[in-house]
Chains A and B, each alone.
Chain A
């Protein structure tokens, strides 16, 4: 009798060990991701008066002349960043005005405008931060977004007291 009790107890114990759920489980394999990028933008210094809009923008080719600042070269425009923001974590997938696709982008920056209405003229925009690779501020960093890939940690610092070199007007 005692032997059966022990066998029964052990059987129950082993069943208990194997019957419990496993707690946290992995989410199902993610569907192919949407191409995009994200990171944080840090603003240093005081925001200038009169700024009406601030956007993260990406261009396909370098801005070597004012003609390169055109709608066909413009590949991405983020939702507007609120005035006075000190830091923001962003994703190109959230509310973009112009969504981005996979590809190579030669110039990624944060641009501001003071015009009351939206303008696409070069003279109406001022660059306050540029994306650099490995803190190499001698040249803008190129952003490569492979297909179905989201690139994180694309961080840009905007220093109002030390703005970057401006592309040609």
Chain B
């Protein structure tokens, strides 16, 4: 009997153990960083666990069987894996979660040069996260900005709420920075979008309206700050390859090559951290044969980010970006019968360029109240035209900024800083001028308990070009953010912005396409008064509506114009301008974490109030909408962009016969489709992405005589290991 009881207990125990399994593994983000506190749920069993500080989870005593496992965490897309078989042996299942944009919880650092939630800002802001860049398979950041609300790209010139038209690369009214380091070139002041390593972007923060009170010149229309990825805590390699083709043009008369023109991108990144030292190395090669004749490019990008943590509160970060590129030079189309071919006089032109940026950022947090950081950078740009004019330019821009933040108590934060830059140019176009600029700023933010946040600040700037008299500017700013209820936020701001003319706008002297351009040493800084009021209403993560009204008064607006005395073109302070508008943004989660919809509408009234005519290249209506459908492992996305016909473009080029059929322009309708499929279920740490851009194959222009990209298809594979 005694033996029988022992046998029965043994069998019972064995049976009990045989019916219970263990599942364990890690949950990380796409960069391999462990995610702490992610929830792992086993179907409807009630079994579950959370990840520990190393991102590890373990669920024990699971009855044998086949289960569906879901992993979720705030800020990341929910991941579901079905058909996980639990048996006597421990089962290891690892998860990589993809970041998700939850606008209301989004943290930004650009608006006030310190970390704060987007809902705390007194100004309008939006964020593009890395996953959006990846899914849209953008090769250059300017393509991604075309989806951001209120932003227009006029070829390669960015315009926030109508701030800019098109001036063929001379000057910009939007300051673009990488990790807070501005990247406008020393000669033309333009943004070289291609130098920004798209695969290394964590997010892109966009601040709308004048931000000169913190950023000085150029930030007259807003700021776009590219935040690069943090260095992963463990070794991590990322590999991505894309191949695509342009479709045939809509009309056979436009089919200049008889081929479907291919393009490809290859990127390899490795990141690691050894003790207190971490680094990221990235290399990218991008080749595009061009849908237009002489519109090809071949580009090599290098990127290094290295970081050393001296202590938990101090660190030094080194950034280096490089770009070497050879590209064709498509200026204007030949005529409407040959929109994909350049004019005969421009054929065969190409431009060879090299751009190199080095940055050093030292951060130190003395204590909970006082911190500072020092940002220095050197940006070299060089290019030469292989055209009849043989234009060339080499420019260096050395820049330094010391920023000190002081938090006196829980209510008051002071942000202050000093910034200086030196520029030097050697060029046959712009002569060999030098530039100097310096600014000092102070901003205070006080949080009342109502809860109201009050922002008050200002910046003094001095700038000097070569031997011309220096100019100074004061840019004050005032802003409030008031949380009416937990889901209703009111904001308002007023600020002055300014932009010093670039060396190119001041000193360019050349003849191009039969037009002589002359220098204008009398050119002075332009300025604006930027006003905005907005309200944001949300219902949890399901619904968010944002409404903003804005007005920008521009003084001494810098535009290219023709001197009636001699017929030469020059940049002058030609007008007073007013840009008013309304912007709405709607985000709806139709099926939580599965189906989301967004729609952003901007109404622009952009007028030259002296000549009583519309400003060039500003459409009256812009509407960007998108639909995203996620059912793991598949994701589908639709982006639809439309804007009304621009009222004015460079009509003088048409009148002079330089751009035949140049007055052809239309309202724009662009549909982009993307789909991605995670390969993790197949045991591969990656995903496949397919894109159809301009799916309607709609023919439109962003600037005169330049047809925008026709329909194109691409497939990308990306792996992380």
Instruction: List chain A positions with a Cβ less than 8 A from chain B.
Output: 17, 20, 22-27, 29-30, 38-40, 42, 84-89, 91, 152-153, 155
Contact = CB atoms under 8 A, between A and B. Distances in A.
Contacts of A20: 669, 696, 698
Contacts of B335: 27, 30
Given A26-B254, A27-B336, A86-B567, 8 more contacts: A23-B699, A26-B253, A30-B335, A42-B511, A87-B568, A89-B658, A91-B657, A152-B345
B566 interface: yes
Interface in B50-84: none
A72 B170 CA distance: 51
B700 A30 contact: no
A89 B698 contact: no
Interface in B295-350: 335-337, 339, 344-345
Contacts of A17: 671, 695-696
25 contacts: A17-B695, A22-B699, A23-B669, A23-B699, A24-B336, A24-B664, A24-B700, A24-B701, A25-B336, A26-B339, A27-B335, A27-B661, A29-B337, A38-B657, A40-B515, A84-B565, A85-B566, A86-B516, A86-B565, A86-B566, A86-B567, A86-B568, A87-B516, A88-B567, A152-B345
B657 A24 contact: no
Contacts of A87: 515-516, 566-568
B514 interface: yes
Nearest to B338: A26
B514 A39 contact: yes
Contacts of A42: 511, 516
A2 B707 CA distance: 41
A118 B253 CA distance: 49
Interface of B: 250-251, 253-254, 335-337, 339, 344-345, 511, 514-516, 565-568, 656-658, 661, 664-666, 668-669, 671, 695-701, 707
Contacts of A85: 566-567
A74 to B, nearest CB: 25
Nearest to A153: B345
Contacts of B671: 17
A155 to B, nearest CB: 7
Contacts of B515: 40, 87
B567 A22 contact: no
Contacts of B253: 26
Contacts of B656: 89
B251 A25 contact: yes
A87 B698 CA distance: 39
A103 to B, nearest CB: 21
Contacts of B568: 86-87
Nearest to A28: B337
Contacts of B657: 38, 89, 91
A24 B669 contact: no
Nearest to A42: B516
A155 B344 CA distance: 15
A24 B666 contact: yes
B477 to A, nearest CB: 41
Contacts of B516: 42, 86-87
A39 B515 CA distance: 10
Nearest to A13: B638
Contacts of A88: 567
A23 B337 contact: no
A23 B696 CA distance: 10
Nearest to A43: B566
A29 to B, nearest CB: 7
Contacts of B511: 42
A71 to B, nearest CB: 30
B301 to A, nearest CB: 32
Contacts of A25: 251, 336, 699
B92 to A, nearest CB: 37
Nearest to A29: B337
Nearest to B567: A87
Contacts of B337: 26-27, 29-30
A20 B665 CA distance: 16
Nearest to A27: B336
Contacts of B697: 22
Contact of A155 (B514, B567, B669, B696): B514
Contacts of A89: 514, 656-658
A46 B664 CA distance: 39
Contacts of A26: 251, 253-254, 336-337, 339
Contacts of A86: 516, 565-568
B508 to A, nearest CB: 16
A153 B253 CA distance: 25
Nearest to A85: B567
Most chain B Cβ neighbours within 10 Å, of A20, A39, A40: A40
A122 to B, nearest CB: 30
Nearest to B667: A23
B706 to A, nearest CB: 11
A91 B656 CA distance: 10
Contacts of A38: 657
Most chain A Cβ neighbours within 10 Å, of B254, B511, B514: B514
B668 A23 contact: yes
B436 to A, nearest CB: 33
Contacts of B250: 22
A94 B335 CA distance: 20
B669 to A, nearest CB: 6
A23 B336 contact: no
Contact of A24 (B566, B567, B658, B699): B699
Most chain B Cβ neighbours within 10 Å, of A27, A39, A87: A87
B664 A153 contact: no
A47 B469 CA distance: 33
A89 B659 CA distance: 13
B696 A24 contact: no
Contact of A153 (B254, B336, B514, B700): B514
A92 to B, nearest CB: 12
A40 B698 contact: no
A153 B254 CA distance: 24
Contacts of A91: 657
Nearest to B700: A23
Contacts of B666: 23-24
Nearest to B692: A17
Nearest to A40: B514
Nearest to B337: A26
A30 to B, nearest CB: 7
A98 B516 CA distance: 28
Nearest to B668: A23
B310 to A, nearest CB: 57
Nearest to B661: A27
Given A27-B336, A87-B568, A89-B657, A22 B698 contact: yes
Contacts of A84: 565
Nearest to B638: A13
A145 to B, nearest CB: 15
B365 to A, nearest CB: 53
A85 B566 CA distance: 6
Most chain A Cβ neighbours within 10 Å, of B335, B516, B567, B701: B567
A24 B345 contact: no
Task: List the 6 shortest-distance A-B pairs measured between CB atoms, nearest first.
Answer: A86-B566, A23-B699, A87-B567, A24-B699, A40-B514, A27-B336
A24 B514 contact: no
A20 B344 CA distance: 33
Contact of A23 (B344, B658, B661, B698): B698
Nearest to A89: B656
A24 B707 contact: yes
Contacts of A39: 514
B637 to A, nearest CB: 14
A153 B665 CA distance: 26
B657 to A, nearest CB: 7
